Every structure is written in structure tokens, then in C-alpha cells.
Structure 1
Amino acid sequence: MAAKPSGVDKIRVLIADDHITVLEGLAAIISRQPDMEVVAEASNGRQVVELWQQYRPDVALIDIRMPVLDGVAAIEEIRKNDASARLIVLTTFDTDNDLLNAVKAGAKGYLLKDSRREELLDCIRRVHRGETCLPASLVQKLAASLSREALTSREVEVLEYLARGESNKEISALLGIGETTVKSHLRSIFRKLDVLSRTEAIATASRLGLIKL
């Protein structure tokens, strides 16, 4: 996509979303602002990285769930080449895991797609000024995620089989471990997630984005 004429004081914005209606809507909103302009639009994560390198925008709005390369991976690549990159995640997902991964990757802002237009524009301006833009509700989730002890990869595997309705004996056979070990993993999972039952563990893990139901 060709770059638009750049105004002297305008915030140059790159937008990335794999849904054309969302992309066009964001472009229309941003282009109407006297202090902003859209310089590039991407429909997948690989394009985001390439267009960032080509146009070096002031701010980028990046969807998390995109084809080819997801938003978090795109953010990580951009930040490797440009540690000062100012990136905002705009998504329909607000699971703790998505938020934590985006912030760890280097996102300076995190907004849900149902945010009001004023919130979106304010976030772009704040991130452009070098500030972070995380809604209070998401800051609380981030704090909770950081304070929670992380599950091991094997514990996540056990959870995934649990979500499929497998019994302890079946999980034992599938993973090639003893039933006593499976029970040990479950006790650890319950403690880390602060839950009391298998059903509650599955629901909590899904909400946190640790497993997909």
C-alpha cells in the first residue's frame, strides 16, 4: 500500500487486522482526526512486520489473532529491530494470558474492539507521547497474572486432556506416566489456579487463555 502524504505534526499510524470491515472502520475513524493519518494497513502478522520496517510509523494498532503470524509474534519481531516501537493491541479477547503475552512482547497499549472511539483515539495519542495505555480492569488482570504461579507445560497437557473428559487412568496412558503422577499434577494445578474441582480448573484455565475449549 502506498503511503499517504504526511502532515508535519500528524501521528503516523499503521493498522493491522484480518477483518476488512474492522480495518476500514479503524482507518476511517483515524483518518478523520486532524492530528493523525493512516500510512499503512496490514491483514496478517507478517505484513505488519514488513510494513513497519518500510514506513516506520509512530504508532501501530495490531490485532492479536491474525493469520501467518499472530499479533504477539509480530510485536516481538518489531521490537527486536526497533526497541522504541510504540504498539497497541486491539482485540476482542481479554483473557489474562493474551494480555500478559502482549505486554511481555512489548505492547504499550491494550484495548478491546468494543472500546469507545474516544478511548481508541486517546490511547493512540497517549502511546505516541510515550505513555502506556492499559484500562484499569486489565491492569488488575495483569497484576493477578503476574502474581499467579505459572503452570508447567506438563500441567497444561494434563489440563487439556482433562478438558476433553479424560479420566486420570486415560491421562496416565496418554502421557505415559503413572496415575499417582497424574494426581500429583492435578493437586499442583488446583493449588496454582486456586480452585477445588476439575470443572472449576477447566473453566478457570479457559478464562485465562491457558486452554481452548
Structure 2
Amino acid sequence: MIRVVIAEDHQSLIDGIKLSLEYEEDISVVGEANDGEVLIALIRAKRPDIVITDIRMPKCDGICATKTIKKEFPDIKVIAFSMFDQSEAVTQMKLAGASGYIMKNSSLKKLVEAIREVAKNNLFFDDAIMSKDTVTKEDIILSSREKEILRLIGEGKTSQEIADLLFIGKSTVDTHRKNILKKMSIQGKTDLIRFAVERKYDF
């Protein structure tokens, strides 16, 4: 029996996964968590085989939680479960020790396949992710100013607000944003904001 813990801040999504997995005779959901701190405490108590975790969670995000889990329990496998397919997020989870990465819009069949593959000590990454060129942390070279602006974008600041905070012109901020988009191969404003929020590097 593959013992699974699910971590996701949307309870309705956890309930849906649990309901669906009830029909799988070799998989058992032994716990659930809505934030990273509860997840880590649950792992220490339950010692599951696999953890399915969202990346963005309150208190302790999925990347931080994965690092802690792999440090304390190297044999426990982690599968990232996220709406973000940016290569940066995938790389962060890989570096943290995740064995798999599944998109939230993937089918239940794919999630079950991921659980079974990872349980056999294999890696499993969503086809939508594998079709992209995944970059490593070392491949990404942002200037200190670009990192600063990216951090402020992640905090929800507009270009004008960033310009005021950094005492530079709005046009300069816009230029930096364009450079970041190009370096990170991001297509537009919305994806840049999502990426900035998801990005977990130390700025």
C-alpha cells in the first residue's frame, strides 16, 4: 500500500483528490494539510511514502517544506502539485528534492501514474513541463537591480510604485521588466507577476 499525504491550501481540491483515490486499491491517503507547518508536523507523525504538495501555501511554502522533509526523511518522496509550469518553479522543486511535478489541470489518471512511478523510485514530470526547456539556477543571470524589481513585482507593486521606491524613472523600470521577460522567456505581464510571486530565490 502506498501511503500518501496531501498538502494544499484549498480544501475542496484535497477532498476531490481523496474521493478519487478511494477507488485505487494500492493507494491510501493517510493525512492532509492546508499549510506547510501542519504538513511537516504531519509527516513527522505519519511517515508516509509520498507527499503531494502545492508550492504556494501559507506559513511554509512547498519548496521550504520539501527541503525540510528530504533533510529529515530522505526516503519520503515528494510530488509537486501546482498551477505553475514556469521552469523556475520546476527547478526550485527539483533542487529541493522533489521526485515529480504535476500540473493541477492534469487528469487524475496522470496523478495516479505519478504516485505509482515515484513510489518505485522513478521520477515523474508532467509532459507539459518536460516539453519546455528547464533552466537551472546557475543559468539565470539577473542583475541586482532586476532582482530587486522582480521582488517588488512579487509584492504586487506597479511600475510607478517601484520607480518611486527606487528613485528611478518609470521608463527605467519598464525597461528592466522587458529585460526580465526576455531572460526568463516569459510572455507577458500576467505571467511575469505569477513568476515573481512564485519565485523563491533569495534576492
TM-score bucket (shorter structure): 0.7 to 0.9
Write the deviation string for residues 128-178 of structure 1: whole angstroms up to 9, x where unpaired: 0001111233124352456742324431223547x72339xx83x6336x8
8 A contact 1:18–1:42 mirrored in 2 = yes
8 A contact 1:99–1:142 mirrored in 2 = no
* Structure 2 CA distance for partners of 1:33 and 1:193, relative to 1, 3 Å: closer
Q: Which residue of 2 aligns with 1:29?
A: 20
Report which of the two structures shows the higher radius of gyration computed on alpha carbons: 1
4+ residue stretches of structure 1 with deviation over 6 A?
none
Q: Which residue of 2 aligns with 1:165?
A: 159
TM-score (norm 2): 0.77
Matched, 1:52 2:43: yes
Q: Which runs of 5+ in 2 are unaligned?
A: 199-203
Q: Which residue of 2 aligns with 1:120?
A: 111
Residue 130 of structure 2, aligned match among 129, 132, 139: 139
* Equivalences for residues 1-213 of structure 1 within 5 A: 10-141=1-132, 143-144=134-135, 148-159=139-150, 160=152, 164-166=158-160, 171=163, 174-175=165-166, 186=176, 189=180, 192-193=183-184, 202=189, 205-206=192-193, 209-210=195-196
Identical aligned residues as a percent = 28
AA paired with 1:15? I
* Structure 2 CA distance for partners of 1:205 and 1:145, relative to 1, 3 Å: farther
For residue 84 of structure 1, give the secondary structure of its aligned residue in structure 2.
coil
Distance 1:126 1:56 in 2: 19
8 A contact 1:92–1:112 mirrored in 2 = yes
8 A contact 1:76–1:106 mirrored in 2 = yes
For residue 143 of structure 1, give the secondary structure of its aligned residue in structure 2.
coil
> Residue 34 of structure 1: CA displacement?
0.8
Q: How many residues in Structure 1 have an aligned counterpart in Structure 2?
A: 190
Superposed CA RMSD:
3.1
